[in-house]
Amino acid sequence: MALLGRTPVAPLEYSRTLWMRLWVGAVMIFLYAPLIVLMIFSFNDSKRNVVWRGFTTKYYEKAMANDALVEALVNSLTIAALATIASLVLGAVAAVMLWRFRFPLKGAVDGTISLPIIVPEICLGVAFLMFFAAVDWPTDLAWPFNLGAITIAHITFCFPFVTMVVRSRLASFNREQEEAAKDLGATEWQVFRDVLIPHIKPALVAGALLSFTLSLDDFVITYFTSGPDTITFPVKVYSMVRFSVTPEVNAASTLLIILTVVLTFIALKLQGVKAIAETH
């Protein structure tokens, strides 16, 4: 499409006016320029992120050879995978509970389940710090078990998002299908497994991707629950950024950005842009 179309601009074609295009373009540059510069400079052959001194991949090698960084990335991915699985189960079950049943104090339960979305991250982080200190949560467990505290914290703030997505999908469920299945002799469990689960599958996919990204992204809550042996990727990057800005951070960040882009595209393939936009 040419920058200025030949046909006259209709009144509602706001996005065809030149100034509107420039404005949207400027906003996009604002959103992307920092990320693109970061990615370009991860290939820069200089210790400082200032002047371009030639192409190199040595900072990727360095980042890969940095055991602490790799360990943090492995921790993050493990936590994200565990938290996603648990959030899916818990979120789906909670959604079914709220959709299917009428019970006393339903409004209060409903509100409480979505509270972790609203409560500021810092307060949730503080709460988990105090909670794990108060119950004397063991900190010297072997790997993956030492990630338990962080994973629990992540599940608590991820599963309400799954509940939200699954619930909006359940609203379009035709309950007659359920009755038909029951008439044909299906048990409650069979109805759940063979009728309800297939219906909410798209929401489960969306919820899984949402949980995975939220968990991978989280810094504040993890910062309060992680110990010296349980550093996650964002916590590691934070300490690197605090103390020195090196191209190694750029390289590691670039890898994570690429992972995010890949995940987003998988989500798009499965869901379509509009469906994803509506889950937010």
Partner 1 sequence: MAEQDWKASKTSFAAVSVPTLLWVVIFFIVPMAIVWLYSFGENRGLTEIAISGTLDNYKRATEWLYLTIFGKSFAVAALVTLICLIVGFSVAMAITFASEKWRPWLLLGIMLPFWTNLLIRTYALMMLLGTQGFANKGLGALWEGTSWIKTLVGLQPLPTWEPVQLLFNNFAVVFGLVYVHLPFMVLPLYAALDRLDRSLIEASLDLGAGHFRTIMRIVVPLAAPGIVAGVMITLIPALGAYLTPDLMGGTDSQMIANVIERQFKKANDWPFGAALSFLLIYAMFALIAIQSMRRKVPEVH
Q: Which stretch binds partner 1 (CB under 8 A): 56-64, 87-95, 140-148, 197-205?
A: 87-95
Q: Does 81 bind partner 1 (CB under 8 A)?
A: no
DSSP calls for 132-163: HHHTT----PPTTGGGHHHHHHHHHHHHHHHH
Q: Does 130 bind partner 1 (CB under 8 A)?
A: yes
Residue 24's contacts (CB-CB under 8 Å, 6 or more residues apart) are 15
Contact mark string toward partner 1, 38..77, x via CB under 8 A: x--x------xxx---------------------------
Q: CB of 69 within 8 A of CB of 231?
A: no
As a whole number of angstroms, the distance between CA 248 and CA 47 comes to 9
Could you count the other beta carbons within 10 Å of the beta carbon of residue 118? 8
Pair of tokens at residue 264: 């987003």
Decide: helix, strand or coil at residue 46: coil
Q: Does 29 bind partner 1 (CB under 8 A)?
A: no
Q: Does 175 bind partner 1 (CB under 8 A)?
A: yes
Pair of tokens at residue 95: 């959604």
Q: Does 217 bind partner 1 (CB under 8 A)?
A: yes
Q: Does 199 bind partner 1 (CB under 8 A)?
A: no
Q: Does 18 bind partner 1 (CB under 8 A)?
A: no
Q: Which of residues 250-269 bind partner 1 (CB under 8 A)?
A: 250, 253, 256-257, 260-261, 263-264, 268
Q: Does 22 bind partner 1 (CB under 8 A)?
A: no
Pair of tokens at residue 85: 């699985």
Q: Does 277 bind partner 1 (CB under 8 A)?
A: yes
Q: Which stretch binds partner 1 (CB under 8 A): 66-74, 108-116, 164-172, 200-208?
A: 108-116
Pair of tokens at residue 201: 């599958």
Q: Does 32 bind partner 1 (CB under 8 A)?
A: yes
**Binding-site member from 18, 33, 197, 266 for partner 1 (CB under 8 A):** 33
Q: CB of 252 within 8 A of CB of 73?
A: yes
